[in-house]
């Protein structure tokens, strides 16, 4: 579980994965790809997704318009 922490003048916080919290966040960082969350729902709801696991690939394949807000690193 991720807990609140302060990192280099940037405050990170843990939030429930729901449309409101995802849409209200500046960015969503995906660092693991497993069944505990729905990557399609995350991709649709978030304003910006930084994906380190290529978890967003199926959602982008189904809806290429999502590619404008997904950055794979």
16 burial (CB, 10 Å; 0-12 / 13-18 / 19+) is exposed
> pTM of the predicted model, to two decimals?
0.77
Contact 40, 58 (CB under 8 A): yes
The token pair at 66 is 């999502």
Per-residue pLDDT reduced to its tens digit, 54-68: 999 999 999 999 999
Per-residue pLDDT, 12 = 66
Per-residue pLDDT reduced to its tens digit, 17-42: 889 989 988 899 998 877 888 889 99
User: Pairing state of beta strands 70-72 and 49-51?
Assistant: parallel
Per-residue pLDDT, 10 = 65
């Amino acid at each position: 579980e991720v807990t609140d922490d302060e990192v280099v003048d940037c405050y990170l916080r843990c939030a429930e994965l729901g449309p409101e919290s995802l849409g209200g966040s500046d960015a969503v960082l995906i660092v693991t790809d497993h069944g505990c969350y729905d990557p399609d729902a995350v991709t649709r709801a978030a304003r910006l997704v930084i994906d380190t696991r290529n978890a967003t690939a199926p959602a982008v394949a189904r809806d290429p318009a999502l590619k404008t807000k997904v950055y794979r690193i």
